[in-house]
Amino acid sequence: MRRFGIAAAMAALCVGVAAGDVFLNEVYASHAGTDTQEFVELIGTPSMSLNDYWVLVVEGDGAASGTLDRGYQLTSQSIPGDGYFVLGDTATPNTDFLMGTDNQLENGSETVYLVEADAVGAAAISARIGTDSDVNDDGIIFGAGGELSAGVTIVDIIAMVDSGFGTTDIVYDSAPVRGPDGTFFPAGVYRPSDHPNDWANTFLNFDNTTIGSSDPTRPTPGGMNVPEPASLALLALGALALRRR
């Protein structure tokens, strides 16, 4: 059964998403074992059409950097009533758009985009999936002057990186960068308590069995993101102070 209810709808409407807006909200790219529960979560206006929107993933790892690994066209889709739209693997809970069975997202430095593309931009994206889309190696693909900028507007962007970032690995179109997690590629990144909050500096849990649990670092496909641990600590201190009054 699809997650939904008055509380969920009100939560989605209270996170600062204006009418007609949609953003990247959470990306889960790597977990223990075979990656069967990867997802990219969008947050937006309930019932908003996603015609002309795409989620794109550009490789940033070593010699393959600049390859447009994935392009998911969302035409004919729309934001559900709870405000969350999930592109996920078959086993990912609350999936609205099936990416595949597993291993759809690289476990290495990559840039994830939400873009809007007209007919010209969509044709160019389709033609370049699986190929180097930064042939001139200037780090710009969809931004102004980039090789695939015609007819394409970047709506939102985030880069996840491993320890190769800054040496062999790169990110694209001036994306904000999160990672590495120690020496590892992060399991996933998220906006604490949802957009419009900035991307957290902490990461999601590599243990995918925490999905649906109360773990403070759990992935939350199709639901409100967890606060950052520092925020949780402040809330706990506040609650303790109230009890002592």
Mean pLDDT of the chain: 90
To 10 degrees, the CA torsion angle through 98, 26, 43, 34?
A: 10
Q: Domain 6-244 sits in which CATH superfamily?
A: Lamin Tail domain (2.60.40.1260)
pLDDT confidence of residue 5: 39
Tell which residue, 212, 168, 160, has the closest CA to residue 27.
160
Is residue 39 within 8 Å of 87, Cβ to Cβ?
yes
34-43 mean pLDDT: 98
Distances (CA, A) of 142 to 12, 66, 68, 74, 96: 29, 11, 11, 18, 26
pLDDT digits (tens, 9 = 90+) for 107-156: 999 999 999 999 999 999 999 999 999 999 999 999 999 999 999 999 99
pLDDT digits (tens, 9 = 90+) for 43-61: 999 999 999 999 999 999 9
Is the model more confident about 26 or about 235? 26
24-39 mean pLDDT: 97
What's the pLDDT band for 6 if we cut at 50, 70, 90?
Answer: very low
Helices marked H in 106-164: 119-128
Q: What is the residue extent of each domain of the chain?
A: 6-244
pLDDT confidence of residue 135: 96
